Structure 1
Amino acid sequence: MRYRSASRALACVTATLAAALLSPAAGGASASVPWHLAAIDAPASWAESTGEGVVVAVVDSGVDADHPDLAGAVLPGRSYVDLDPGDEPRLLALGSEPGPVYERAFGQADPVGHGTAVAGLIAAGADSGHPGVAPDAEILPVRVLDDENRYHDSAMVGAAVEWAVDNGADIVNLSLGGHYDSAPFAEAIAYAEANDVLVVACTGNQRLDEPAEEVWFPARVPDVLAVTGTDDRGSRWRTAVTGEETDLAAPGADLLAPEPGGGHRTVTGTSFASALVSGAAALVRSAHPDWTAAEVRRAMIATARAGGEGLGAGMVDAAAAVAADLASLPPVEVPAEASPAVGLAATTAGGALLGLAALLLRGGRVPRTRYWTARRLAAREATPAPGA
């Protein structure tokens, strides 16, 4: 097995566009629907679904839980950063005094801004002026990216994914990746699939002056919904990586997103295209709670609007996916052999995967924790009690 270098294990943000990621947005907020929401037809689905009841894990650089756009939407998460190898994340007891250490321990602080932008594009509130694709979804922040927006241990990221699965995630967004495969990370992807959790990941970014790169890991794993980025004309963004593993496309350039501290920035990269697709997936899962993760993935790919070269099935269409009828969709071809995610994981953890296989056969599911946040509590209080 090859291990990726630290220099290649990073968020899906093109190096040449790092300045754009952190540059202030010009002109402030627009009163109209943001172009990226219109491009994926998200507003047309809101009468039927807003993502309520769906938890999206943002495995990233943390999330600023105090940003007004995300008020009440950010669950207590977990941080895997600043730990000695092999240590468990140092969580503080519930009821501890809030503060920087407390917030970082639960993934509710973001020194980079990447995770906050991703979370806002997914689930910023409808009344914020900058709504996310699924404004009533909730965010489970799991921090794996350090203060330089990198991760140095793929096994750690795999552990973070497994923790998210065990703690309520319905969707896992991975706006990160690298060039080399990782058996522990692949095992975590297989674990998510076994527990009916949809994994969405960005295809990666590259410099304009470099040869075309292959789709990054873990996006190239077949069980992952791999997302590349487009510009405002619907063409592939010039630095967005693509390949035969690409499933869908979404806007990935010049998007207005929240930044830590309460403001907004213009962001560019397939990281943010992945966030939009995760938001669309939350709409579908909320509208069809009886659908499996595989069925959600199937519906989103089948209803995509065909586009130009390198966009996979095309631009994700949130409204069409929400309105989809599974019975009318084309069947998905299932290969006879196991997927690379399962195969790679089985190489190093065969016994564990046999246990997962048994779990699948008996229809089991790992018990998962649900947290009550301001949004969920408000919805609960607004719902009349039986007989009321």
Structure 2
Amino acid sequence: MIIFIEEEEKMKNPHNNSFELLNLSGRKAYWSQGFKGENVKVAVIDTGILIDHEQFKDVKITEKSMLDDKVEPNYHGTAVASLIAGKDLGVAPSCELLSIEIKDSVGDPHLDKIAKAIIYAVDEGCDLINISYSHYANYGGVEEAIEYAEANNVLIICSSGNDGSEGKRYPAAFDETISVGGVNYDYEKIKWVTYGSTLDVCQVCENVLAAHSISSNEYALMSGTSFSTPIVTGIAALLVCKHKYFNNGKKIPVNILRYMLKNQFVKDLSIKGKDKLYGYGFCTLQPLSLILEFKIDSMEMKQNGEVIKMEEPAKIENGRTLVPLKYANDGATVLWMQEERKVKIMY
């Protein structure tokens, strides 16, 4: 069963390709090499998570609460964690998770706990920290905690925010972090995503399929930069995993990892280099170089926007959408949009 949850506004026209679109992270390119996040530990500073969800089967998860009172797991942390390490949904399904609870059961954060949570994650040997949260103000002790993480070679990846304005949100605005914005499935900026000079990269943040905390087999389509952020964290986890494999378990220097995410594993979506809407671009392990668009029964297709004649059209036959095989090689992400009578293939 799929239900809908949104952080900022009502979602419109959800795609039925959400599972396939998780591959836009480029995760398959690293999985095929045998890297799925082994020997990488990621902290999720958020609400508690439903560790009994089927997405976390065989995932090593340690829990720590920074709150005084016990609270029930919330959908937010569960969804975020599933996009990092879920067995089907996660970018790095073999990584280890440290769930650090700083938000109550309705998802409201205890701001005074963020710095302590960061320091705890570093001291527990985490390689990466995911913070799917942002605030207008630099809350006490957070900057010092981030500097502590930097000094201990731990990269923090944060959501840019969902208020639609240009400006700084914390902790994403700190230079040491990776600030993650969001786009839709057509790589267009979404109006409610926070943007500005401190934005580093973007990923899909609309109608992202993730685990829900209602039950162990519940899922939802989530929207918000809270959910583009863990995809980037998963990408970072695979980079760390590969580096450790080839360097006798040694961690990749945090400044090098940050550079790779912002410069090497991105696809420009606007002007070359960094801009306020997309940062350095769309973060992926397999930077997109080809987008093919087909209209059902048309002899024309678009290749990166250029119209090209085809020998055989895409078509619907017996209720199934068919596209010529030569256009859908291994590694492609295929969007089947029968209602719109379109097919899009992305490499």
**TM-score where L is the length of structure 1:** 0.65
Q: 1:256-275 to 2 correspondence within 5 Å?
A: 256-260=209-213, 261-262=215-216, 263-275=218-230
Equivalent position of 1:296 in the other structure: 257
* 1:177 counterpart SS class: coil
Equivalent position of 2:105 in the other structure: 147
Is the CA contact (8 Å cut-off) linking 1:57 and 1:169 kept in structure 2?
yes
- 1-structure distance, mates of 2:15, 2:134: 30
Equivalent position of 1:58 in the other structure: 44
Equivalent position of 2:195 in the other structure: 242
One-letter amino acid of the structure 1 residue matched with residue 144 of structure 2: E
The structure where strand makes up a greater share of residues is 2
Equivalent position of 1:348 in the other structure: none
One-letter amino acid of the structure 2 residue matched with residue 157 of structure 1: I
Q: Deviations over 1:64-101 (max 9, x none)?
A: 11111111314222111235xxxxxxxxxxxxxxxxx6
What is the identity percentage for the equivalent residue pairs of Structure 1 and Structure 2?
Answer: 28
Q: Deviations over 1:22-41 (max 9, x none)?
A: xxx997xx7x952132x222
- 2-structure distance, mates of 1:313, 1:45: 22
Equivalent position of 1:41 in the other structure: 26
The structure where helix makes up a greater share of residues is 1
Aligned partner of 2:278 among 308, 311, 326: 311
Equivalent position of 2:8 in the other structure: 15
One-letter amino acid of the structure 1 residue matched with residue 27 of structure 2: A
Is the CA contact (8 Å cut-off) linking 1:14 and 1:239 kept in structure 2?
no
Q: Deviations over 1:13-55 (max 9, x none)?
A: 74335xx6xxxx997xx7x952132x22221121222111111
Alignment root-mean-square deviation, CA = 2.3
* 1:16 counterpart SS class: coil
Q: Which has the higher contact order (CA 8 A, sep 6+)?
A: 1
* 2:44 counterpart SS class: strand
- 1-structure distance, mates of 2:194, 2:261: 20
- 2-structure distance, mates of 1:47, 1:298: 24
Unaligned runs of 5+ in 2: 1-5, 245-249, 288-347
- 2-structure distance, mates of 1:43, 1:273: 18
Q: 1:150-189 to 2 correspondence within 5 Å?
A: 150-152=108-110, 154-189=111-146
* 2:106 counterpart SS class: coil
- 1-structure distance, mates of 2:286, 2:254: 18
- 2-structure distance, mates of 1:264, 1:240: 23
- 2-structure distance, mates of 1:26, 1:311: 22
Equivalent position of 2:177 in the other structure: 224
Query: Once superposed, which parts of structure 1, at least 4 consecutive aligned residues long, lie more than 4 Å away?
Result: none
Unaligned runs of 5+ in 1: 1-12, 84-100, 321-388
- 1-structure distance, mates of 2:131, 2:281: 20
One-letter amino acid of the structure 2 residue matched with residue 188 of structure 1: A
**TM-score where L is the length of structure 2:** 0.72
Is the CA contact (8 Å cut-off) linking 1:65 and 1:74 kept in structure 2?
no
